[in-house]
Amino acid sequence: MPRLKGADRRTQILEAAERVILHKGLAAATTRDVTSDLGVAAGLLAHYFSWSALRAAAFSRVVVADIDQSVTGRSRDAPDTVLSDLVDGAFSAEADALWRLWLEATEMGASDALLAEAASEATDRWHGALSDLLARGHSDGVWTCPTPHESSWRIIAILLGLAGLCLIPGSPLSRDAATHHLRIAVRHECGLSA
Amino acid sequence: MPRLKGADRRTQILEAAERVILHKGLAAATTRDVTSDLGVAAGLLAHYFSWSALRAAAFSRVVVADIDQSVTGRSRDAPDTVLSDLVDGAFSAEADALWRLWLEATEMGASDALLAEAASEATDRWHGALSDLLARGHSDGVWTCPTPHESSWRIIAILLGLAGLCLIPGSPLSRDAATHHLRIAVRHECGLSA
DNA sequence: GACTTTGTTGAGCGATCGCTCAATTGAGCA
DNA sequence: TGCTCAATTGAGCGATCGCTCAACAAAGTC
């Protein structure tokens, strides 16, 4: 393991923190999880980050990367395709970890200012990305969505709500049922398409 | 402080636990919070409950009491009045603690089987109560809701999702905006009434 | 009053957490 | 080669947690 310059080590720790919180969640993740993932001593982490700052930064990066991949980065694809893919993949097993992070960031934001700020910014980013997508489909004539900024909030809310309901072990709401309800809600917000 | 018989002490501890989790949240609450609320020694709690069992039981009681008060217990009131009151009070400041408990139970349910079961049962109860209300309004001709069991899931989901968005400190979504979005969603599920 | 049963006490155990810090290592440079 | 200093180590501090358990106190029973 070669010795690294400060900036490189910082990004390396950040990426390890992303892996750890995706695997264990924001609340269960510890500084030792991150340092042992990298194979370095426990004391090294505090040399570069406070735990709360690292945790919030890792959360931001994970969420922003997901939004970019599923919405922002697909600005050249047809709006209905992007939205349809969003609905189809919303409650897949791979998405669980991401929804869990959202719930945890919301809750822990009550006592962690950095996490609250990260969650607030991520929410803004998500709302903006989805609003743009809805507006694009409207102006392209793909669907009818006269108030994309409003519809975006409702879709995000039902998405988060259904995700939370699915996450409960032994939940009475299956993933398929959640996808069904999300599709109906999205269709309503976008006229009859998607 | 007179010595209590076992059953009385159990309910007394349960009620104290309800107060504590409403005030501090499920994750931040400790056994010492409960015993100091009652003014008894720390060791007494473990004589009656394990902490995880007490926490799950207290969560169940708080949530069930709220559902009964706002929905189930108002079966003699007009359905549109009940639903309207539900929307109006959904994101009041007093409701914050309850929504926080929902989010925490969902998240902690991943590693706490008792809490997962309590959350699952509470979800069932909520879905049943809201389904009944929607069906009653439909059969009374107050509104049109042909599939109350389905609509109930969507309303619960958007309710939980909007609540989570409001809970983030510095959230871009205000309580008034959340109430607005909930009202629109409910109106859509119930035809044009409510 | 002697004895059993049950409720209650509170110091403290064992585990976990983020973080500290003196000691050590090694790359860059004269 | 000797020097400097940032990078790294890892034992351990201090705080917190749920929970244990020997000791004690008050009813109930005879």
DSSP string, A70-116: HTGGGTTS-HHHHHHHHHHHTTSGGGHHHHHHHHHHHHHTTT-HHHH
Q: What is the pLDDT of residues A29-85, one digit of tens each?
A: 999 999 999 999 999 999 999 999 999 999 999 999 999 999 999 999 999 999 999
Mean pLDDT, chain B, rounded, equals 95
Which CATH class name applies to B52-189? mainly alpha
What DSSP designation does A174 have?
-
Q: How many CB atoms lie within 10 A of CB B176?
A: 10
Whether A168 has a pLDDT exceeding 50, the answer reads yes
Q: Among residues 104-133 of chain B, which lie with CB inside 8 Å of chain A?
A: 104-107, 109-111, 113, 116-117, 119-120, 123-124, 127
DSSP letters, chain B, are -----HHHHHHHHHHHHHHHHHHH-TTT--HHHHHHHHT--THHHHHH--HHHHHHHHHHHHHHHHHHHHTGGGTTS-HHHHHHHHHHHTTSGGGHHHHHHHHHHHHHTTT-HHHHHHHHHHHHHHHHHHHHHHHHHHHTTSS--S-HHHHHHHHHHHHHHHHHHHHSTT-SS-HHHHHHHHHHHHHHHTTT--
Q: How confident is the model at residue A3 (pLDDT cuts 50, 70, 90)?
A: low
Structure-token pair, residue B158: 């958007």
Which secondary structure element, helix H or strand E, spans residue A166, and what is its range?
Answer: helix A148-167
Mind telling me how many Å the CA of B16 is from chain A's nearest CA? 22
- Tokens 């709302």, residue located: A127
What is the spatial distance between Cα B12 and Cα B26, in angstroms, rounded to a whole number? 18
B188 touches strand C (CB under 7 A): no
Which secondary structure element, helix H or strand E, spans residue A27, and what is its range?
Answer: none
Closest CB from B102, B168, B188 relative to A119: B168
Confidence at residue A112, expressed as pLDDT on a 0 to 100 scale: 97
Q: Which residues in chain B have their CB less than 8 angstroms from residue A60's CB?
A: none
Cα–Cα separations (whole angstroms), residue A134 to A4, A14, A90, A127, B158: 45, 33, 17, 10, 19
Confidence at residue B7, expressed as pLDDT on a 0 to 100 scale: 84
What DSSP designation does A147 have?
-
Burial class (CB within 10 angstroms; exposed 0-12, middle 13-18, buried 19+) of A183:
middle
- The verdict on A87 touching B (C-beta cutoff 8 Å) is no
Closest CB from A109, A158, A168 relative to B106: A168
3-class secondary-structure state, position A169? coil
Mean pLDDT, chain A, rounded, equals 95
What is the spatial distance between Cα B178 and Cα B191, in angstroms, rounded to a whole number? 20
- The verdict on B67 touching A (C-beta cutoff 8 Å) is no
The share of chain A scoring above pLDDT 90, in percent, equals 94
Contact B154 A25 (CB under 8 A): no
**Average pLDDT over every residue of B26-41:** 97
- The verdict on A17 touching B (C-beta cutoff 8 Å) is no
Closest CB from B116, B164, B171 relative to A169: B116
User: CA torsion sign, B97 to B98 to B101 to B102?
Assistant: negative
Whether A159 has a pLDDT exceeding 80, the answer reads yes
| Contact in structure between A70 and A85 (CB atoms under 8 Å) | yes
| Contact in structure between B85 and B186 (CB atoms under 8 Å) | no
Interatomic CA–C1' length for residue A43 and nucleotide C20, angstroms: 8
Whether B31 has a pLDDT exceeding 60, the answer reads yes
CATH superfamily label, A51-189: Tetracycline Repressor, domain 2 (1.10.357.10)
Whether A194 has a pLDDT exceeding 50, the answer reads no
What is the spatial distance between Cα A122 and Cα A194, in angstroms, rounded to a whole number? 25
